[in-house]
Amino acid sequence: MFDLARLEAADEVHRLAEACESTGFFYVANHGVDSAPLVRVTEEFFARPLAEKLESAMANGGRAWRGYFPVGGELTSGAPDLKEGLYFGDELTPSDPRFAWPMHGANVFPSGMREIVLAYIRAQEQVGQRVLRGLALALGLDATYFATHLTHRPTNLFRIFHYPPGDDASWGVGEHTDYGLLTLLEQDDRGGLEVKTPAGWIAAPPIAGALVCNLGDMLDRLTGGRFRSTPHRVRNRCAHGRYSWPFFLDPAFDALVAPLPTARVRPVDVDAAERWDRASVHTLTGTYGDYLLSKVARVFPQLASDGLGDAR
Protein backbone atom coordinates (compact mmCIF):
# COMPACT_ATOMS: atom_id res chain seq x y z
CA MET A 1 0.00 0.00 0.00
CA PHE A 2 1.30 3.46 -0.91
CA ASP A 3 0.21 6.87 0.31
CA LEU A 4 -0.10 9.13 -2.73
CA ALA A 5 1.26 12.10 -0.77
CA ARG A 6 4.52 10.21 -0.03
CA LEU A 7 5.01 8.43 -3.32
CA GLU A 8 8.04 10.55 -4.25
CA ALA A 9 9.82 10.02 -0.92
CA ALA A 10 13.09 8.09 -1.26
CA ASP A 11 11.99 5.11 0.83
CA GLU A 12 8.68 4.86 -1.03
CA VAL A 13 10.38 5.11 -4.42
CA HIS A 14 12.50 2.10 -3.48
CA ARG A 15 9.43 0.11 -2.43
CA LEU A 16 7.63 1.16 -5.58
CA ALA A 17 10.45 -0.15 -7.76
CA GLU A 18 10.27 -3.48 -5.95
CA ALA A 19 6.50 -3.71 -6.51
CA CYS A 20 6.87 -2.93 -10.21
CA GLU A 21 9.62 -5.52 -10.65
CA SER A 22 7.74 -8.26 -8.82
CA THR A 23 4.04 -8.06 -9.74
CA GLY A 24 3.43 -4.72 -11.45
CA PHE A 25 0.44 -4.28 -9.12
CA PHE A 26 0.11 -2.09 -6.03
CA TYR A 27 -2.46 -0.05 -4.08
CA VAL A 28 -2.58 3.73 -3.65
CA ALA A 29 -4.45 5.30 -0.74
CA ASN A 30 -5.33 8.89 0.20
CA HIS A 31 -5.90 9.78 -3.44
CA GLY A 32 -8.80 12.14 -2.74
CA VAL A 33 -11.09 10.99 -5.57
CA ASP A 34 -14.78 10.99 -4.58
CA SER A 35 -16.45 8.08 -6.36
CA ALA A 36 -19.86 8.30 -4.64
CA PRO A 37 -21.60 10.25 -7.45
CA LEU A 38 -20.16 7.85 -10.03
CA VAL A 39 -21.35 4.79 -8.11
CA ARG A 40 -24.86 6.24 -7.94
CA VAL A 41 -25.21 6.94 -11.67
CA THR A 42 -23.57 3.59 -12.50
CA GLU A 43 -26.14 1.62 -10.53
CA GLU A 44 -28.95 3.69 -12.02
CA PHE A 45 -27.78 3.13 -15.59
CA PHE A 46 -27.29 -0.63 -15.40
CA ALA A 47 -30.69 -1.07 -13.77
CA ARG A 48 -32.32 0.28 -16.93
CA PRO A 49 -33.94 -2.03 -19.52
CA LEU A 50 -31.60 -3.24 -22.24
CA ALA A 51 -33.45 -1.30 -24.92
CA GLU A 52 -32.85 1.92 -23.02
CA LYS A 53 -29.17 1.14 -22.48
CA LEU A 54 -28.77 0.43 -26.20
CA GLU A 55 -29.80 4.01 -26.95
CA SER A 56 -26.19 4.79 -25.94
CA ALA A 57 -24.64 1.97 -28.01
CA MET A 58 -21.04 2.18 -29.18
CA ALA A 59 -22.25 2.17 -32.78
CA ASN A 60 -23.45 5.72 -32.10
CA GLY A 61 -19.91 6.78 -31.16
CA GLY A 62 -18.40 6.08 -34.57
CA ARG A 63 -14.59 6.20 -34.75
CA ALA A 64 -14.42 7.42 -31.16
CA TRP A 65 -15.40 3.94 -29.86
CA ARG A 66 -17.49 5.41 -27.06
CA GLY A 67 -20.74 4.20 -25.53
CA TYR A 68 -22.46 1.07 -24.28
CA PHE A 69 -21.91 -2.59 -25.14
CA PRO A 70 -24.10 -5.47 -23.86
CA VAL A 71 -23.03 -8.68 -22.13
CA GLY A 72 -20.86 -10.69 -24.52
CA GLY A 73 -20.15 -7.67 -26.70
CA GLU A 74 -16.45 -7.50 -25.78
CA LEU A 75 -13.93 -10.29 -26.42
CA THR A 76 -10.78 -11.24 -24.54
CA SER A 77 -8.52 -13.81 -26.19
CA GLY A 78 -11.31 -14.36 -28.71
CA ALA A 79 -13.91 -15.37 -26.09
CA PRO A 80 -16.90 -13.19 -25.05
CA ASP A 81 -16.56 -11.59 -21.63
CA LEU A 82 -19.40 -11.98 -19.13
CA LYS A 83 -19.82 -8.25 -18.59
CA GLU A 84 -21.49 -5.15 -20.01
CA GLY A 85 -20.01 -1.72 -19.99
CA LEU A 86 -19.60 1.89 -21.01
CA TYR A 87 -16.58 3.37 -22.80
CA PHE A 88 -15.55 7.01 -22.31
CA GLY A 89 -12.56 9.23 -23.00
CA ASP A 90 -11.57 12.88 -23.15
CA GLU A 91 -14.40 14.99 -24.54
CA LEU A 92 -13.03 16.68 -27.67
CA THR A 93 -14.57 19.19 -30.06
CA PRO A 94 -14.11 19.25 -33.85
CA SER A 95 -11.62 22.10 -33.46
CA ASP A 96 -9.19 19.75 -31.70
CA PRO A 97 -6.79 18.14 -34.21
CA ARG A 98 -7.21 14.81 -32.42
CA PHE A 99 -10.96 14.77 -33.02
CA ALA A 100 -10.67 12.81 -36.28
CA TRP A 101 -8.40 10.14 -34.82
CA PRO A 102 -9.85 6.73 -33.91
CA MET A 103 -10.72 6.45 -30.20
CA HIS A 104 -10.89 10.25 -29.92
CA GLY A 105 -13.78 12.66 -30.21
CA ALA A 106 -17.11 13.09 -28.47
CA ASN A 107 -18.54 10.75 -25.86
CA VAL A 108 -21.92 9.05 -25.93
CA PHE A 109 -23.30 10.00 -22.53
CA PRO A 110 -26.37 8.29 -21.05
CA SER A 111 -28.67 10.79 -19.39
CA GLY A 112 -27.37 12.13 -16.09
CA MET A 113 -23.77 10.98 -16.52
CA ARG A 114 -21.94 13.67 -18.49
CA GLU A 115 -20.65 16.00 -15.76
CA ILE A 116 -20.01 13.22 -13.25
CA VAL A 117 -17.99 11.13 -15.71
CA LEU A 118 -15.92 14.06 -16.99
CA ALA A 119 -15.12 15.20 -13.45
CA TYR A 120 -14.03 11.67 -12.54
CA ILE A 121 -11.76 11.42 -15.59
CA ARG A 122 -10.06 14.71 -14.68
CA ALA A 123 -9.57 13.63 -11.07
CA GLN A 124 -8.12 10.25 -12.02
CA GLU A 125 -5.79 11.81 -14.56
CA GLN A 126 -4.34 14.00 -11.82
CA VAL A 127 -3.82 10.96 -9.59
CA GLY A 128 -2.27 9.01 -12.45
CA GLN A 129 0.18 11.77 -13.31
CA ARG A 130 1.31 11.84 -9.69
CA VAL A 131 1.82 8.07 -9.70
CA LEU A 132 3.85 8.39 -12.92
CA ARG A 133 6.14 10.84 -11.16
CA GLY A 134 6.91 8.16 -8.59
CA LEU A 135 7.42 5.57 -11.32
CA ALA A 136 9.84 7.87 -13.11
CA LEU A 137 11.89 8.28 -9.93
CA ALA A 138 11.80 4.50 -9.42
CA LEU A 139 13.45 4.19 -12.84
CA GLY A 140 16.16 6.73 -11.99
CA LEU A 141 14.58 9.39 -14.22
CA ASP A 142 13.49 12.95 -13.54
CA ALA A 143 10.03 13.00 -11.95
CA THR A 144 8.66 14.90 -14.96
CA TYR A 145 9.86 12.35 -17.54
CA PHE A 146 6.49 10.87 -18.46
CA ALA A 147 4.65 14.21 -18.47
CA THR A 148 7.35 15.66 -20.74
CA HIS A 149 7.80 12.79 -23.20
CA LEU A 150 4.68 10.60 -23.23
CA THR A 151 1.70 12.00 -21.32
CA HIS A 152 1.84 15.68 -22.22
CA ARG A 153 -1.23 14.90 -24.32
CA PRO A 154 -2.29 11.54 -22.89
CA THR A 155 -4.74 9.04 -24.26
CA ASN A 156 -7.20 8.98 -21.37
CA LEU A 157 -9.63 6.07 -21.48
CA PHE A 158 -12.26 5.32 -18.86
CA ARG A 159 -14.54 2.30 -18.55
CA ILE A 160 -17.51 1.40 -16.36
CA PHE A 161 -18.11 -2.34 -16.15
CA HIS A 162 -21.00 -4.34 -14.72
CA TYR A 163 -20.41 -8.05 -14.17
CA PRO A 164 -23.66 -10.00 -13.76
CA PRO A 165 -23.88 -12.80 -11.16
CA GLY A 166 -21.81 -15.88 -11.93
CA ASP A 167 -19.93 -18.82 -10.46
CA ASP A 168 -16.43 -20.33 -10.50
CA ALA A 169 -16.79 -21.17 -14.18
CA SER A 170 -17.84 -17.63 -15.14
CA TRP A 171 -15.17 -15.34 -16.55
CA GLY A 172 -15.97 -11.66 -16.43
CA VAL A 173 -12.70 -10.99 -18.24
CA GLY A 174 -10.20 -13.59 -19.38
CA GLU A 175 -6.45 -13.39 -18.89
CA HIS A 176 -4.94 -10.22 -20.40
CA THR A 177 -2.56 -7.34 -19.85
CA ASP A 178 -3.39 -3.65 -20.21
CA TYR A 179 -2.00 -1.85 -23.23
CA GLY A 180 -0.75 1.53 -22.06
CA LEU A 181 1.27 2.94 -19.17
CA LEU A 182 -0.85 2.89 -16.02
CA THR A 183 -4.28 1.68 -14.92
CA LEU A 184 -6.09 3.03 -11.86
CA LEU A 185 -8.90 0.75 -10.78
CA GLU A 186 -11.80 1.56 -8.50
CA GLN A 187 -13.77 -1.58 -7.64
CA ASP A 188 -16.74 -2.30 -5.43
CA ASP A 189 -16.48 -4.43 -2.28
CA ARG A 190 -17.36 -7.75 -3.96
CA GLY A 191 -13.95 -8.79 -5.30
CA GLY A 192 -13.17 -10.98 -8.29
CA LEU A 193 -9.92 -9.48 -9.63
CA GLU A 194 -7.04 -11.97 -9.84
CA VAL A 195 -3.37 -11.42 -10.70
CA LYS A 196 -0.94 -13.93 -12.18
CA THR A 197 2.28 -14.35 -10.18
CA PRO A 198 5.14 -16.84 -10.32
CA ALA A 199 3.37 -18.65 -7.48
CA GLY A 200 0.07 -18.79 -9.37
CA TRP A 201 -3.09 -16.71 -9.48
CA ILE A 202 -3.81 -14.58 -6.40
CA ALA A 203 -6.72 -12.30 -5.50
CA ALA A 204 -6.39 -8.50 -5.57
CA PRO A 205 -9.17 -7.78 -3.09
CA PRO A 206 -10.83 -4.37 -2.74
CA ILE A 207 -9.46 -2.17 0.02
CA ALA A 208 -11.71 0.66 1.16
CA GLY A 209 -10.38 4.05 0.08
CA ALA A 210 -7.62 2.61 -2.12
CA LEU A 211 -7.14 2.28 -5.86
CA VAL A 212 -5.55 -0.76 -7.47
CA CYS A 213 -2.74 0.37 -9.78
CA ASN A 214 -1.14 -1.80 -12.43
CA LEU A 215 1.36 -1.31 -15.20
CA GLY A 216 0.62 -1.66 -18.90
CA ASP A 217 2.52 -2.98 -21.90
CA MET A 218 4.22 0.34 -22.66
CA LEU A 219 6.03 0.41 -19.32
CA ASP A 220 7.11 -3.16 -20.01
CA ARG A 221 8.50 -2.03 -23.37
CA LEU A 222 10.13 1.13 -22.01
CA THR A 223 12.01 -0.80 -19.35
CA GLY A 224 12.88 -3.85 -21.45
CA GLY A 225 10.82 -6.04 -19.15
CA ARG A 226 12.16 -4.74 -15.84
CA PHE A 227 8.72 -3.33 -14.98
CA ARG A 228 6.25 -5.94 -16.17
CA SER A 229 2.70 -5.69 -17.39
CA THR A 230 1.29 -8.59 -15.42
CA PRO A 231 -1.65 -10.70 -16.66
CA HIS A 232 -4.88 -10.42 -14.70
CA ARG A 233 -8.47 -11.58 -15.02
CA VAL A 234 -11.89 -11.29 -13.35
CA ARG A 235 -13.92 -14.23 -12.11
CA ASN A 236 -17.66 -13.70 -11.61
CA ARG A 237 -18.15 -15.42 -8.27
CA CYS A 238 -20.51 -12.94 -6.65
CA ALA A 239 -24.20 -13.81 -6.57
CA HIS A 240 -25.05 -10.10 -6.67
CA GLY A 241 -22.80 -9.08 -9.55
CA ARG A 242 -19.88 -6.65 -9.51
CA TYR A 243 -18.98 -3.13 -10.65
CA SER A 244 -15.58 -1.71 -11.53
CA TRP A 245 -14.30 1.60 -12.86
CA PRO A 246 -10.88 1.31 -14.57
CA PHE A 247 -9.12 4.46 -15.78
CA PHE A 248 -6.26 4.09 -18.26
CA LEU A 249 -3.57 6.78 -18.45
CA ASP A 250 -1.77 6.01 -21.71
CA PRO A 251 0.84 7.68 -23.91
CA ALA A 252 -0.11 10.26 -26.50
CA PHE A 253 -1.74 8.50 -29.45
CA ASP A 254 1.01 9.67 -31.84
CA ALA A 255 3.90 8.98 -29.44
CA LEU A 256 6.73 6.69 -30.46
CA VAL A 257 7.37 4.44 -27.45
CA ALA A 258 11.01 3.39 -27.54
CA PRO A 259 13.04 1.59 -24.84
CA LEU A 260 14.76 3.80 -22.31
CA PRO A 261 18.55 4.08 -22.63
CA THR A 262 18.83 2.18 -19.35
CA ALA A 263 16.45 -0.61 -20.43
CA ARG A 264 17.77 -4.11 -20.28
CA VAL A 265 17.43 -6.29 -23.35
CA ARG A 266 14.74 -8.96 -23.00
CA PRO A 267 14.82 -11.67 -25.70
CA VAL A 268 11.75 -11.31 -27.87
CA ASP A 269 11.14 -15.05 -28.13
CA VAL A 270 11.27 -15.44 -24.33
CA ASP A 271 8.87 -12.56 -23.84
CA ALA A 272 6.42 -13.89 -26.43
CA ALA A 273 6.49 -17.38 -24.95
CA GLU A 274 5.55 -16.05 -21.52
CA ARG A 275 2.81 -13.65 -22.60
CA TRP A 276 -0.90 -14.46 -22.64
CA ASP A 277 -1.24 -13.53 -26.33
CA ARG A 278 2.14 -14.96 -27.42
CA ALA A 279 3.03 -11.54 -28.88
CA SER A 280 6.05 -9.68 -27.53
CA VAL A 281 5.64 -5.98 -26.72
CA HIS A 282 9.30 -5.51 -27.62
CA THR A 283 8.69 -5.87 -31.35
CA LEU A 284 6.52 -2.74 -31.40
CA THR A 285 7.05 -0.37 -34.31
CA GLY A 286 5.11 2.78 -35.06
CA THR A 287 3.07 4.82 -32.62
CA TYR A 288 1.20 3.93 -29.48
CA GLY A 289 -1.98 4.52 -31.44
CA ASP A 290 -0.99 1.82 -33.92
CA TYR A 291 -0.45 -0.62 -31.06
CA LEU A 292 -3.67 0.32 -29.27
CA LEU A 293 -5.83 -0.04 -32.36
CA SER A 294 -4.34 -3.43 -33.21
CA LYS A 295 -5.29 -4.66 -29.73
CA VAL A 296 -8.71 -3.07 -29.37
CA ALA A 297 -9.75 -4.24 -32.85
CA ARG A 298 -9.58 -7.78 -31.45
CA VAL A 299 -11.78 -6.79 -28.52
CA PHE A 300 -14.49 -5.29 -30.75
CA PRO A 301 -14.02 -6.97 -34.15
CA GLN A 302 -17.36 -5.76 -35.48
CA LEU A 303 -16.50 -2.12 -34.87
CA ALA A 304 -13.10 -2.66 -36.45
CA SER A 305 -14.69 -4.19 -39.54
CA ASP A 306 -16.93 -1.13 -39.82
CA GLY A 307 -13.92 0.93 -40.86
CA LEU A 308 -12.12 2.62 -37.97
CA GLY A 309 -9.17 3.15 -40.27
CA ASP A 310 -5.57 3.97 -39.47
CA ALA A 311 -4.38 5.54 -36.27
CA ARG A 312 -3.03 8.66 -37.99
| 310 part of a folded domain | no
Nearest to 213 by CA among 26, 60, 23: 26
| 177 part of a folded domain | yes
3-state SS track over 7-66: CCCHHHHHHHHHHHHHCCEEEEECCCCCCHHHHHHHHHHHCCCHHHHHHHEHHHHHHHCC
How far does CA 179 lie from the centroid of its chain? 7
| 293 part of a folded domain | yes
Kindly tell me if the per-residue pLDDT of 136 is higher than 50: yes
Q: Is the pTM of this model over 0.85?
A: yes
pLDDT tier, 267 (very low <50, low <70, confident <90, very high otherwise): confident
Number of Cβ atoms within 10 Å of the Cβ of 123:
18
- Alpha carbons 214 and 185: distance in angstroms, whole number: 8
Q: Where in the sequence is the domain holding 25, given as residue range(s)?
A: 2-305
Kindly tell me if the per-residue pLDDT of 118 is higher than 50: yes
| 232 part of a folded domain | yes
Kindly tell me if the per-residue pLDDT of 312 is higher than 50: no
Which carries the bigger pLDDT value, residue 78 or residue 14?
A: 14
Kindly tell me if the per-residue pLDDT of 311 is higher than 50: no
| 311 part of a folded domain | no
The residue count of the chain comes to: 312
Count structural domains, the chain.
Answer: 1
CATH number, domain at 124?
2.60.120.330
pLDDT tier, 302 (very low <50, low <70, confident <90, very high otherwise): low
SS3 291: helix
- Alpha carbons 171 and 79: distance in angstroms, whole number: 10
| 255 part of a folded domain | yes
| 287 part of a folded domain | yes
* Pure H helices in 23-170: 36-46, 50-53, 114-138, 145-149
| 36 part of a folded domain | yes
